[in-house]
Structure 1
Amino acid sequence: MEEKKFQPYIPADKIMPEFTVVSVILGAILAVVFGGANAYLGLRVGMTVSASIPAAVLSMGIIRFILKRDSILENNMVQTIGSAGESVAAGAIFTLPALFMWANEGLCEVPSLIEIGLIALCGGVLGVLFMVPLRSALIVQEHGTLAYPEGQACAEVLIAGEEGGAKASTVFAGLGIAAAYKFVADGLKVFPSEVAYEIPAYKGSGIGVDVLPALAGVGYICGVKVSSYLFAGGVTAWFVLMPLIALFGGDTVMFPADVTVNELLLQGGPDAMWSKFIRYIGAGAVLAGGIMSLISSLPLIVRTFKDAIGGYGKNGKSTLRTEQDLSMQTLLIGILIMAVALWLIPSIPLNLFSAFIVIIFGFFFATVSSRMVGLIGSSNNPVSGMAIATLLIATLLLKATGQNDINGMIAAITIGGVICVIAAISGDTSQDLKTGFLVGATPKKQQIGEIVGVVVSAIAIGAIMYLLSMAWGYGSNELPAPQAMLMKMVVEGVMGGNLPWTLVFTGVFIAIVVKMLGIPVLPFAIGLYLPIYLSTPIMAGGLLRWFMEKRKYANEKAKNDAVQSGVLYTSGLIAGEGIVGILLAVFAVIGLNVDVSGVFSIGKIGGLVCFAAILFTIYLFANKGAKAATKADK
C-alpha cells in the first residue's frame, strides 16, 4: 500500500510537454555522443560508465538554460533517449569485435554495417520490451526496497532545475579539458599515454600507468572499493602470478607460448607474459565470477518473474497518466517480430534454434539485469559475466548440434552480442523508468523513447566500430578490446577443445578463494585480466574520491556537493576523451598525421606530471562544489 501514497514531483493529472521534437532530436544526439564515447572507453579498458547522470545534466543545461524551455518531463525524455547509446555500445563492443578479429585471421568475412546494426537493434528493442512487464514489480511495488542509484540521482538533478546550469558547466569543463589533454597525448604525442617500467630485480613483474583522464574518472566514479578490487586483481597478476611463472618456467616452453619463458620475457617483457598466460587465468576468474553472481541471484530472478507475470496488466488499464505502459499485445507482437528477424534476416547469422536460445536467455538476463541495477547501479552491472555464461552454454549447445565450425563460432558470438545488448539496455531502461516514476513521467512515452534511442544508437554503433577497426584494429595496443577478446577465447576454446584449461581453472579457483574471502569476484577478476597499466590510474581516481569523502567539511551538504561535483566533472572527462578518441580514429583512417613527438616531447616524466595535474583538477572542481554549498548555507 505504501507505493500508492507516493506522489511524484509532477502529479498524474498535470500535462506537460514530454515526447517532443526537441527532446527526440537532442536525445538522439546525446545517444550517439555517449555511445561513441563509451564504445571507445570499453574497447580501451573493458568497462563502460553509466551515461544517465551526465545526460540528465546536459539535458537540463541545454533545454532549460539555452533553449529556455521549462518542462522537467521533456528534460527527462532527453536523458531517457540519450542514455540508451551507452548501453547499446556496451553490449556491442563487449562481443562483436571478435568477428573483426576472426576476419583478420582469414576465418570469415568482415561483418557488414547492416549486420552490426541489426544485431544491436534486435538486442536493444528486446531489452526494452522484456523490461516493460517488470516495471510494476520492480519500480512501483519495490519502491522502498530497490534503490536504483543512477535513477534517483537523475531525478535529483532534474528536480533541482535551478542548479542545472552550474552542474552542466562542470560537465562541459571536464569534457573540454579531457579533449585537449587527449589530443596532446595521443594526437600530437607530446608525451606517451602509457608509462611503464619493468622491475629487473623482481623478474616477470612490471608496473605502469596509462596517464589518461578517463581512467582517473572511472576510478573516481566507481569509488575506492571497486577501484581497489580492480587494483588487487592487477597486483595479484603482475606481482604474484607472473613472477612465479618466470621463476618456475625459466627455460621451459609452457603452452600456449611457443618459446621458453625466458625468451618470452626477452622478446616482449612482462606484457608478453600477460598476453600468453594471464589472460587465460583472468578469463577463468571472470567466467567463475559471472556464474557465481547468477547463482546467487536465482531466488531474486524467480520471485521477480512471478511478481511480474502476476501483477502486469493492472496498470495497463489505469486512466492515470503515470501508470500507462505499452500494452501486452504490443509487447508480444514486438518480441515476435524481433524473434522472426533474428531467424530469417540473411544479414543475421542465426537459425531458428539460435533465435530460440536468444529469446529464452534474453528474458532471463533482462530480469537479472533489471533487478541487479536496482541493487548495485548500472555502472556495476555484470553484463560481461552474463554474456560469458551465455556464450559458454550457447557454444556447448551449438557444438552438440553439430555446428562446431567457424559458422557455429560466429553464431555463438552473435547470440552473446544480442544477449549482452539485452542485459545492458534492460538495466538502463530500469534506471530511466525509476527516474520517470520519481519525477512523474509517462511510462509509455519513456518506453517509446528508449526504443528511439536504441534505433539511433544501433545505426551509429556500426559506423563507430568500423571506424575504430580501420584506424587501429581490435586486439591492438590502442584498442585491446579485452572483453571481446575474452569472449573470442571462450568460444574458440569450447569449439576447438584447445583452451589451456590448467590456466583457466587456475583463474576459476582463484575466483572461488576470492569469493570465500568475501571480496566481490567480478571487479577483482577484471583487474586480474586487464594490464596493470589500466587499474593503476583507476586506483588513483578511487583514492581521490576516498580523500574527498573522508576530509572535514562545514556540513553534510558541503560533503555531498563536493563528491557530486567531482562525479559530474569526471563524467565530462570520460566523455571528452572518448569523443577525441573517435576524432583521432578519423584522422588515422584518412591518413592525417599530427604527431610532433620528433620535434617536441616531454617524455614519461612529463606524462606523469600531466596526469597528476588532471587529478588536481578533479580535486579543484570537487572542492569548488563544497565551497559553493558552504557559501549558500551561510
Structure 2
Amino acid sequence: MDGVGKDSPRELTPRALVAGGLIGAGLAVSNVYMGLKLGLWESGGVLASLLAFSGMKALSARWGPAPSSLETNLAQTAATAAGAMPAAAGLMGAIPALSLLGRPTPGWVVGLWGVGLGVLGVLMAFVLRRRLLEEEALPFPSGAVTAELVSTLHASGAAPVMRTGWMWGAGLGGMCVTWLREGWKVLPATSFLPGRLGGVPLEQLQLGVGWSPMLLGLGVLVGPQAGLSLLLGALVAWGVLAPWLVREGRVASASYELLVAWLTWPGVGLMVGASAVTLVTLGLSLPRTAVELLRRGRAHQARGDAASGGGVLALALSVLVLLGVGHAGFGLHPLALLGVLLLSLPLCAVGARAAGLTDISPVATMGDLQQGVFGAVSPGQPALGVAAGSVAAGTMAQTGVSLWSFQTGRLLGASPHWQLRVQLAGVLLGAAVSVPTYFLLVTAHGPGSSELPVPFALQFRAVAEVSARGLAGLPPSAALAAGLGAGVGLVLSVLSRGRLARFVPSATALGIGFLVPARDAVTLCLGALLAAGFLRVRPGSSSVLHMLGAGAIVGESLLGLLLIVLGLLGLFG
C-alpha cells in the first residue's frame, strides 16, 4: 500500500472529484433502474475504484502524474455516496409505495427528504467509525475488498486498465440491444413459449425470457444461488399459484396487476420471515445500543471529532429539513417525526454492526421494524407508517455504504475528514441525479406495472397496511399465504446460518420472485447460470465477468433513460 505521507498531498484533487462525480451519477441512474425493477442495488465500491483508477491513469499519460491510491479512494467514496442515494431517498421503496397508496409525493419533497436522510446517514457513519472500525475491528468485508483492489491496481500498473474495456464493450452491447428493442423495435421485450399452464396462456403469466442486458448483467453480479432462488420463487408464484388464482376465480383476469395484488402477500411474508432472526436480535440490542450511542456521541463531541468540518451544523440542518419536509410533505407531526428520528439512530447503529459482520446492510429490515413500531403507536395511518419507515431504511442505506468507504480509507491511510466531506457532496449529487431519474421512469411506466414492478415498494405497502388495518383487509386466503410464507422464510433464514448455507435458497430472493414478472426472474437466472458456467471453464475470470455485468446494466440504464426523455419531449415514440 502507498505510504500516507506520499499520498496525502494528492488525496483531494479536481480529477478525483470529477471522476467520482461522473461514476456516482452513473451508479445513481442504474440503481434507480435496478431498484424499481428488482428491488436490488449495487454499492459500487469495487466498480467505482476500477473505473476511477482507469480513467485517471489514462489521462495521466498526457496530463499530470499518475493517480495516487488516496485519489482513487476519494473518487470511490464520492461515487458510492452518490450511488446510495436512490435507496437513501426511498426511491425504491417508500416513495413508490406512497404512490401505490394514492399519496404521490412532489419532487421537491422527495429531493429534500432524500438529502436530509443521506446527510444523517453519513454523519451517523462518521460517529460510529472509530467504535466499529478501530475499537471493535469489525471486518466490513466490502470495504476491505475495495482497499485490496485499490492497492493491487496501484501496484500492478496499467494492466488492470485493460479490464475496463470489457465493461465499455458490454455497455455498448447493452445500448445496441436496448435500441433494437425500444428504438427500432425489431426485438420483442419478451420471447414467450407457446402453450398454456392451468388453462392460462404462458404469455399472460409472463413466463418467458426478456431481451434485457440489464437483467442478464444483474444475474452475473448476484450469482447462481440468488438467481436460482429468484427463479424458484417465480415458478411457484407464476407457474403454480397464478393459474390456481385464475382457475378458482380469485382474480378477475390473468393480468399482472391483479395477480401481483394477491401474490404480494406470500412474497412479503417470505421476506419478512427471512428478516425475523435479525428483527429479534435488533429488538434485544436496541436499549444497550441507544445508551452506547449517546455515550459515544458525547465522547466524540468532547474530542471535537463530530464538530469538525461543520458536522454539528450539517446534523442540525438535516434534522430541521427533515422535520419541515416531513410535516409539509408527508403530514408527519414534528414531535412524532422527532421520535422516529431518535428511534432510527440506535436502529442504524445495530444495523451498521450487522453490516460490519455480515457485509449485508439490513435496509429493508430497518424499514419494516420502524413501520411496525409506528403502526403500533399510531394505528390506522398506512401512508404515515411508510414515511416513518423510510427514515430508518434511508438512513441505514447511506450509513452502511459510508462505513464500507471509511473501512477502505482506513486500510489505505486516508483522511476520514476528507472522506466525510466528499460523502456529503456525493449525497447532493446523488439526489440531483436520482430524483429526476425516478420521476422520468414512473411517468413513463407507472409504479407497480410489469415494466416497473417495484418489489421493495410492495413490501413497504404491505407492512403498512397490516400495521394500520390488521389482516382483515387482505384478499381472500392471502393472510394464510402470508403466514405460510413467513414460516418458510424463517426456516430458511435459520438454515442459511448453518453448514447447509450454500445449498439453502435465499428467502429474500424467493420473495422477490413472487413480486416481479416471471420473465425478469428467468432472464436474471439465465445470466447467473451463464456466468457460473463460464467460471467453471475459466476459473480466474471473475473480474472480467463483473465488468461485463456492470457494463450491461449501465448501458441499458443510460440509453433507456435517454429514450424516455426523448419520448417525453416528443422527439421519440
Range of TM-score over shorter length:
0.7 to 0.9
Aligned equivalents of 2:295, 2:192: Cα separation in 1: 56
Task: Report SS of the residue matched to 1:195.
Answer: strand
**Aligned residue runs from structure 1 range 319-358, under 5 A:** 326-327=306-307, 331-345=311-325, 347-349=328-330, 350-358=332-340
Partner of 2:235: 235
TM-superposed deviation, 1:541: 2.1
Task: Report SS of the residue matched to 2:572.
Answer: coil
Partner of 1:499: 474
Aligned equivalents of 2:288, 2:536: Cα separation in 1: 39
Partner of 2:501: none
* Per-residue deviation, residues 86-124 of structure 1 (Å, max 9, x unmatched): 21112322221233344xxxx55x422210111100110
Partner of 1:170: 166
Conserved in 2, the CA contact under 8 Å of 1:128 and 1:426? yes
TM-superposed deviation, 1:428: 0.7
What is the TM-score of this pair, normalised by structure 1?
0.78
C-alpha change, 1:283 and 1:569, in structure 2 (3 Å) is same
Partner of 1:86: 83
* Per-residue deviation, residues 317-352 of structure 1 (Å, max 9, x unmatched): 99xxxxx95448955554343223222346443322
Conserved in 2, the CA contact under 8 Å of 1:16 and 1:71? no
Partner of 1:373: 355
TM-superposed deviation, 1:183: 1.9
Task: Report SS of the residue matched to 1:111.
Answer: coil
Aligned equivalents of 1:224, 1:465: Cα separation in 2: 29
TM-superposed deviation, 1:315: 8.7
C-alpha change, 1:198 and 1:95, in structure 2 (3 Å) is farther
Aligned with residue 48 of structure 1, among 35, 41, 50? 41
Conserved in 2, the CA contact under 8 Å of 1:85 and 1:454? yes
Task: Report SS of the residue matched to 2:209.
Answer: strand
Aligned equivalents of 1:586, 1:234: Cα separation in 2: 32
Whether 1:100 and 2:78 are equivalent positions in the alignment is no
Partner of 1:573: 552
Partner of 2:500: none
TM-superposed deviation, 1:449: 1.1
Conserved in 2, the CA contact under 8 Å of 1:182 and 1:581? yes
* Per-residue deviation, residues 5-48 of structure 1 (Å, max 9, x unmatched): xxx64336863222233333332232222111110121122211
Aligned equivalents of 1:460, 1:25: Cα separation in 2: 15
TM-superposed deviation, 1:488: 2.5
Aligned equivalents of 2:185, 2:307: Cα separation in 1: 54
**Aligned residue runs from structure 1 range 191-340, under 5 A:** 191-197=187-193, 199-200=195-196, 202-203=198-199, 206=205, 207-245=207-245, 250=248, 253-254=249-250, 257=251, 259=252, 264-265=253-254, 268=255, 271=256, 274-296=259-281, 326-327=306-307, 331-340=311-320
Whether 1:27 and 2:20 are equivalent positions in the alignment is yes
Conserved in 1, the CA contact under 8 Å of 2:309 and 2:417? no
Whether 1:132 and 2:126 are equivalent positions in the alignment is yes
Partner of 2:183: 187
Aligned equivalents of 1:569, 1:182: Cα separation in 2: 16
Whether 1:419 and 2:399 are equivalent positions in the alignment is no
Whether 1:114 and 2:108 are equivalent positions in the alignment is yes
Conserved in 2, the CA contact under 8 Å of 1:467 and 1:586? yes
Aligned equivalents of 2:302, 2:163: Cα separation in 1: 39
Aligned with residue 77 of structure 1, among 59, 69, 74? 74
C-alpha change, 1:276 and 1:413, in structure 2 (3 Å) is closer
**Of 205-214 and 465-474, the range deviating more from structure 2:** 205-214
TM-superposed deviation, 1:581: 1.9
Query: 2:377 corresponds to which letter in structure 1?
Result: L
What is the TM-score of this pair, normalised by structure 2?
0.85
Aligned equivalents of 1:460, 1:43: Cα separation in 2: 15
Task: Report SS of the residue matched to 2:10.
Answer: coil
The unaligned stretches of length 5 or more in structure 1 are: 1-7, 319-323, 554-558, 595-634
C-alpha change, 1:215 and 1:376, in structure 2 (3 Å) is farther
C-alpha change, 1:363 and 1:491, in structure 2 (3 Å) is same
Query: 1:504 corresponds to which letter in structure 2?
Result: A
Partner of 1:146: 139
Partner of 1:628: none
Conserved in 1, the CA contact under 8 Å of 2:99 and 2:447? yes
Partner of 1:5: none
Conserved in 2, the CA contact under 8 Å of 1:286 and 1:385? no
Whether 1:359 and 2:332 are equivalent positions in the alignment is no
* Per-residue deviation, residues 362-415 of structure 1 (Å, max 9, x unmatched): 2233224423333443xx53422332332233233232xxxx4xxx44433322
Query: 1:216 corresponds to which letter in structure 2?
Result: L
Query: 1:395 corresponds to which letter in structure 2?
Result: G
TM-superposed deviation, 1:175: 1.8
TM-superposed deviation, 1:233: 1.8
TM-superposed deviation, 1:180: 1.9
Aligned with residue 374 of structure 2, among 394, 413, 417? 394
Aligned equivalents of 1:216, 1:538: Cα separation in 2: 5
TM-superposed deviation, 1:443: 0.8
Conserved in 2, the CA contact under 8 Å of 1:80 and 1:446? yes
Partner of 1:472: 445
C-alpha change, 1:420 and 1:12, in structure 2 (3 Å) is farther
Partner of 2:402: 429
Conserved in 2, the CA contact under 8 Å of 1:174 and 1:570? yes
Aligned equivalents of 2:262, 2:100: Cα separation in 1: 19
Conserved in 2, the CA contact under 8 Å of 1:155 and 1:436? no
**What is the alpha-carbon root mean square deviation over aligned residues?**
3.1
**Aligned residue runs from structure 1 range 535-614, under 5 A:** 535-551=521-537, 559-560=539-540, 562-593=541-572
TM-superposed deviation, 1:164: 4.0
C-alpha change, 1:147 and 1:132, in structure 2 (3 Å) is closer
**Aligned residue runs from structure 1 range 613-624, under 5 A:** none
Task: Report SS of the residue matched to 1:66.
Answer: helix
